Amino acid sequence: MTPFSLLILPGDGIGPEVMAEVRKVIGWFEQNRGLSFEVSEDLVGGAAYDKHGKPLADATMQKAQEVDAVLLGAVGGPKYDNLDFSVKPERGLLRLRKEMDLFANLRPAQCFDALADFSSLKRDVVAGLDILIVRELTSGVYFGEPRGISDDNDPENEGGRVGVNTQRYTSGEIRRVARSAFELARKRAGRVCSMEKANVMESGILWREEVQWVHDNEYPDVELSHMYADNGAMQLVRNPRQFDVIVTDNLFGDILSDAAAMLTGSLGMLPSASLGAPMANGRPKALYEPVHGSAPDIAGQGKANPIACILSFAMCLRYSFDLGAEADMLEKAVEKVLADGLRTGDLMGPEGGKPVSTAEMGDHILAALSAQ
Ligand code: IPM
Ligand code: MG
């Protein structure tokens, strides 16, 4: 069997620590499930800036285009806060998303039963929560032109400056991410809620019309509803279980997915997949990363929760390699260690639990895999 090729980009902060646990999981699947991976590793974010003076070297970008899937840890840190915008660590991640054309960002928010009490909402509002946010990732205000900060001679502006960003969406961009959402809904509860601000933005009107068009012409079997994004934010904290799949633009998706993440109790639990069009081998261009950031305050101390990164690898097994059974195994192993009360610091609540380090959490997940 040809090995699956993976490019690992651990990045900054806790990225390298959590990714080390993923490497252990990869090793487990090689030894125990006959899978074979060809793994290479490279730099991204601040780590790449330190070496190359930019947050993603061209050779790394090239490699990312060639592999079956990219696994990314996290980027950024206070050390890089004052860098010029164009070389900030985040630009490395945005370049990967844009150049690989990863237009569909899948952010599941699932509440593990063992963690329902960690949510800032009441257990009976979040228990059993299982929603999927599909965020458009390559367009909208993140990339729209014109953009920039310029001087402005208007005396009423106190001789100051103007900052501009542009929200721009084409029909094609909206339709392709809508199709991803409808496809995913078909494999879930069959419901899509699309969110925009059609009450104030023309791009929102187009968004609504195009999502409706894709529905009517291609996915009439899926239930579609529309919601203004501000109401969507409110509904997410009022009654999140009303949703199955949410599809929304780049900026609203960024914000709504953080809100949804917090419903589940810990940002340290949430994986994501960013998918593009199929490559020649039929697999989608893909990058997998935890939703959490680089957490510089706890970096290098063995305190980080590796679960989001490990669950991102489970998404990789499922979406890049069609290994649904292996992905299920890994997710069950995570559920088991949580049910056993094993807790990294971020999961340590009033009721206590068995404190474990990053590496111990990884070891327990391997043991739970072996026990299946
Ligand atoms: C995310 C992050 C990124 C974003 C940053 C790091 C550029 O917040 O993946 O949600 O805004 O997309
Ligand atoms: Mg974000």
H helix or E strand, kind and range, residue 185: helix 171-186
In a domain, 366, yes or no: yes
Q: pLDDT confidence of 117, banded at 50, 70, 90?
A: confident
Examine residue 209 and state whether it is found in any structural domain, yes or no: no
Mean pLDDT of 119-129: 92
CA of 255 to the centre of ligand 1 (A): 9
Which residue range forms the structural domain that includes residue 332?
Answer: 1-106+270-372
Identify whether 98 is part of a domain.
yes
pLDDT in tens, 305-336: 999 999 999 999 999 999 999 999 999 999 99
Which of the pair, 262 or 175, is modelled with greater confidence? 175
Q: Give the CATH number, domain containing residue 73.
A: 3.40.718.10
| pLDDT higher than 80, residue 266 | no
> Looking at the domain assignment, is residue 362 inside a domain?
yes
Find how far residue 49's CA is from the centre of its chain.
Answer: 23
User: Which ligand is in closest contact with the Cα of 249?
Assistant: 1
Query: What is the model's pLDDT at position 265?
Result: 78
Distance (Å, whole) CA 276 – CA 92? 17
Whole-number Å distance between alpha carbons of 142 and 254 = 10
Which residue's CA is the nearest one to ligand 1's atom 9? 291
Task: Copy the structure tokens of residue 234.
Answer: 């409110």
Q: How many domains does the chain have?
A: 1
Evaluate if residue 24 carries a pLDDT over 90. Answer: yes
Q: Specify whether 297 is catalytic.
A: no
Token pair of 204 as six digits: 């929102």
Distance spanning both ends of the chain, measured CA to CA: 25
Supply the pLDDT for residue 352.
Answer: 76
Give the active site residue among 258, 328, 340, 363: 258
Residue with tokens 């991640």: 93
Nearest to 103, CA basis, from 317, 278, 326, 351: 278
**165 within a domain of the structure (yes/no):** no
Residues 188-214: what's their mean pLDDT? 98
pTM of the predicted protein model: 0.94
Three-state DSSP class for 16?
helix
Phi, psi of 231, deg, nearest 5: -65, -40
Model confidence at 18: pLDDT above 90: yes
The 10 Å Cβ neighbour count of residue 296 is 17
Whether 328 sits among the annotated catalytic residues: the reply is no
Question: What percentage of the chain has pLDDT greater than the value 90?
Answer: 88
Of 193-207, 273-287, 339-353, minimum mean pLDDT range: 339-353
Residue 131 pLDDT class (50, 70, 90 cuts) = very high
Q: What confidence tier does 339 reach under pLDDT thresholds 50, 70, 90?
A: very high
**Average pLDDT for 235-243:** 97
Give the pLDDT of residue 348.
Answer: 82
- What's the CA-to-centroid distance between 77 and ligand 2, angstroms? 15
Asked whether 74 lines ligand 1 (CB < 6 A), one says no
The pLDDT value recorded for residue 325 is 97
Q: What is the largest CA-CA distance in the chain?
A: 72
